[in-house]
Structure 1
Amino acid sequence: MIVDKGQQAIITKEELNVAGTQPEFIIFTVIEAPLEGTLKKSGEDLGAGAFFTMKDIESGQIGYLHAGGENDSDVIRVSVIDDANRWIPDIPIHIRIKQAELGGVALKVKNIECYGDNDGSIRIIGYGGVPPYQYSQDSVNFVNEDTFTDLASGSYKFYIRDAVDTIRSTNEIAFVSPNDLTFTSQLSNYDIVLSASGGTGDLQYSIDGVNYFKDPIFLDPGNGLFSVYVKDIFGCTKEDTIEIDIPILTVSGALISDAECAGQTITIEGQALGGIPPYAFSVDDIAYNEADVIKTTMPNPVIYVKDAGGKKAIADTIFTRNPAPIEMDYTNEKFVVTIIATGGTGTLMYSNNKVDYDTINVFTFDDNGTYRLYVRDDLGCTKSRLIVLNVLKEVNVISTNVTCHNKTDGTIKLNPKGGFPPYQFKLNNGSYGTAREWTGLKAGDYTFVVKESKGDSLSGTVTIINPDSLTLEVQLSGHDILLQAHGGTPPYQYSIDGGNLFLDTNQFTELDPSTYEIEVKDANGCLAVETVTIVATQDFITSQLMIYPNPSSQMIRVTAESKDLSDGSFKAVNGEGRVFELYPIHRSAYSVSLDISKLPSAMYLLIYELNGEFYRVRFVKY
């Protein structure tokens, strides 16, 4: 760059330029500050170690201020890291200072761009001395034109002469010719691959001389003679030729062996021509193998071939027998299984042991379990299927009868076996629910239904038995009692003390005269109760009690000749010793009316008790 003495000049991209897409990330570091002036950034000094960016240069913030000294040259040295993190360790910026004394600066106008070209040009800028100036390349022959053209590779020094014939030399400038472009082309399978070096900058490639690309590989351009090119950033080119002549890839296929059953392996063979050997074959365009004989289960297959260059071809369809596959399903009604089968060849036959086949497709099994069923066609092709039977086959019913006659304490519990939980249960006309046990039932017939989750169900009937009513027969003989229980649930136990003590015996002898609370208890704890009175014969007082009418069915009237009847109690005792309390309806000193309408028909002993004395008389109730 050129700076007037004592003045400042802006450093532009003409003096310092590093290409990139992000100039703010192209960073320069000052490694050597100028000696004859100062490097500036927006008016501030930049010494060694300071940094600035390419964006600062583009925005005009970087300049050089000459200090006013007499030297006519200066230099700034910087390093740079670009936006791709590449590093250039040393870049000089040469500065020429315009002094009053005659001087000149040689500047490149145009560099040599292509190898072997003579198109470089240099311009001489003069200053100081006495204008006008003349210029020379050999210090002998001077011309008025300040620009020298058609320069070849090499070093050049020029001279400037002013009006008083003062001559001064300029700085030396060198032209370096770019490296010659070297260029090769070769065929990689179906692709043209170009390789080049030399030239300037990034290289581009073309197979038509018009459209250039960075990628040197041209994929499968087809057969033909191609002129291929390489070009650098200055448009310098090299040309080559290459020919592609590859026969078209074809493939044919043949059937070697066919299948009799669906899914069996067939054998086919492929034959390839043209293209680039070796070949690989496939029936699905996915898995390729070098073997040309292929085994597959695919019906009506086609053969694909792929050559060494990755090019593919497809053969015509190979038509095969394609037997229909045997499709097999089943239905079951409890343990009766029906096979449903289609496909195969000819008549289908069925088996449940793979040995004995028949046209009957219905099988009956004994229990739940896992079974395998088989289907076979006329060509011996078979199909099997595993079936699982889990049938709601039975319901275990646990019930208890009512314990005592007409009591409501019967129970029913249902335990299903088989089927698929969860289960639902229903008793009589009730709704389905998850409860499987019922309590507090009365005697009678109950209908239940159990339903499993797949809809299968079982129903049945349970009878809750009502035992006969427990009754007690009492036979009184003097001071002995014989008890006979009927109904209820044997065995029985007996008590004569109101249930405090129960014994297995039903005979009680030599009992003291008294009133006994007789109870019988069966196996379920049901009770029957009677009252029996044993009266001592010697305690009775003979009296003249009279009953009228006798016999009677409703009322009797009791009188006494010499006894006051206004107090005391009356009881009637039948032949079994059962005691019935009688309550007077009308009473006077010598006459009492008693209601006997509720007494069973029988002969009774009427006992009148007063102050520990007993009086008796017999009557008949009809």
Structure 2
Amino acid sequence: MKHLLLLTSLFYSLALQAQVTGISVETFYVSDGTIIPDGYTTYHVYANTTNSTDFVSAVYGDAENPLGITMDGNIYNSTPGFLYGSEINPNFFAAFPELEYDSWMTIGMLSAFDNGVLGNIGLDAAMADFTATGSFYIDDPIGGSWYNTIPCDPAVSPTCTDDYPQFGGADNKVLLAQITTDGSFTGVFNLQVFNDGNQAQNEYVNGLGFSNDPNAIFGCTDPNASNYDPNATNDDYSCVLPCTLDLVIENITTPTCSGDNDGSLEITATGAQGSDDYYLGEDDEQPSNFGNFNNLLAGTYYVMVEDGAGCQDSQYIEIPEVEEVNVTASLTQAMTCNNTNDAIIEAIGAGGDGNLQYYFAGQSPSTMTPNNVFTDLVAGNYTVIAVDGNGCTGSSVATQVSNPPAINVYVTATSDASCADIADGQIVVSAVGGAAPTTIQFEVDGNMYASSPINIYAGTFNVVAVDVNGCTGSSEDLVIGPDAIEVNASASPVACTDEANGSVAWAPTGGADGFTVMIGDSTLTGSSYNGLPVGFYTVEVEDANGCSASEIVEVLNADPIVATTEVENPLCNGDSDGVVTVSATGGAGSFQYSDDDNTYGDSGEFDNLSAGEYVFYVQDENGCEVGLTAVVEEPAELVITGIVNSTDVLWGEGFIDASVTGGTPDYYFDWTGPNVNGMSDQDLTNLVSGVYTLEVTDGNGCTAVEQFNVIFDNVVELVNLLEVSVYPNPSNGVFQINWDGAQGGDVLYNIVDAVGRQIESGVWNETASSFNTVIDLSSYDNGVYRLNVVSSGVPSSVALVKAN
């Protein structure tokens, strides 16, 4: 740590008489409870110098020279409190007097108004402990310190020692700390001092103990130590114990690649007394505070650790060598043919971390792949680069891929065949290149030939030379005569299904002029053969040289006409709104339709049809026709029947039980008649005399109408205590009226029809309790009428039914 503290000055370690004689503790303030809590005492800790010009530069601690304070009691700090004397502003004491008695560290400075610049390093954790508990301890290799840089030279400036409190001054004391506690404390400080203010006379004074207990004796208090002091009451961190130092290998990092110098060692130690220094190599004279050694090659290294008591432990450590990346490449498949670019190189790699990828030299490393087989290679030289997971590389020797020569075919002579289909023509050919000449074969029109000349039939050919690798070269097109005979036969189908009016035609070309044509045993002239039934025919043609050719053609049957009908029946019995739609498939071209085989039209729909059986005809463009039958059906006639009962019941209790047959369910009912207009029930009850009309509508909207007469023989009605009899009722128009219970006097009457129209009125003279008269309605239409009478102010009425 001391090496870090003196960055701004040049120091020399000299064999000097110590200029700091010790550390003293003086009482500064005893609390009476008015400013800070009662029971607390404020102490000042001083470094005692020999001369007034001695300058205290730093208070420090590290692994070799620990620094610490141990407190038995509570430490006092106000809020917010201060850690160092250079932070204190006395102007605040009037408002906050307790600030004057905080606990802090310093070198000479009681406040920010004192001269000097107090710095610190490595004390954050220690000061946090001190503020919380009053105790702290620093013994790590880096250490910590609070320090001042020397501001002036006393030999040059006579007032220097008076201006800066870091000098011993007139009282030969330099303030190091202010501690306020309600208990006791001890501490051990290590000081750096410039004797007489001369930086060249640098002195380290270590292990200075102090306490607010005047009877404290400092020394080694560990009985196991070789320097144990039985009189010591407080330990000064100077104990020298038996060696228990062990070197620990924490980590070995191998170099990334073979030959690299980025390996490292990390070593630590246990059981060290004081500092621990680490050495790499048996001749290492510059120890390290930490056992981290970098930038190492693979190999064996001597490492040693030494603690503050002179104990040592050492080992030889091996940094393993990383296996070198090696790669070999071989041509596993040469380029098969000229410019086929199908060569294959296989790489075999080893070493590194084993995770190898490959690419070709000259290409971007971004193309590297774990696949070690490279295909579809063109001619050239290839060097394979192998790369492991750490970026270590190795390269193969170059592998050459050669392009084989192209195969060239040379035709030296040809001769025609006698006939186009006789293989007695010749081609004389040779080939060079590829694997020629011993491994060349020739292919002509799909056939392989081992040697030349090649016997061939007539046609246009090219000769393909093929070597053992399947590489090819071809000649230009060769024409070997004569031209083949082309029969050019064709057939026309029969006009209608199964007729015998098909034909075969021919138009031969090629060969030698003067053709003879045969079909079966018949030798034919002209260019066609007509009147043929359906079937296959072989047309043979022979030219003037006796060369022949044949062709088979088929006279096809005409597609049969397949006709169908779709019938829409009339909705009602007796209607003529039926429709038959005729459609057809097959045949030739479009169709026309007829219902009499005489007049044809484009439409296959026939309407306004009544029930019955019909025959329709379909004709195609060839005049072929087919007939078919369709049946138009109608619903059964809608018939209404019913039972009327008015003979054995009283007036007003008649009924009609109606029945419906035929038509198409469901049925809907509509009645008209006395007291029933608009009723939709199928049957009626509680009827009086009259004519009742029922109209029935079925599900297709078809209707039927039926009338029912409800007649009561010798109708008698008791109306308002009058017994009225009508004879006959119904009648053909003449009614005999008789009633009993009359009161005498005039009787007013009128007669109204079924819709309430008055057709007759008058006055009858009633002279007795019984009365008879005749009403004649023969001039009126049949129907129900009502006779209304008023006798003695009492109204009465009776129904009159006129029927033929």
TM-score interval for Structure 1 and Structure 2 normalised by the shorter chain: 0.3 to 0.5
Instruction: Please give the TM-score of this superposition, normalised by the length of structure 1.
Output: 0.40
Structure ID, larger Rg: 2
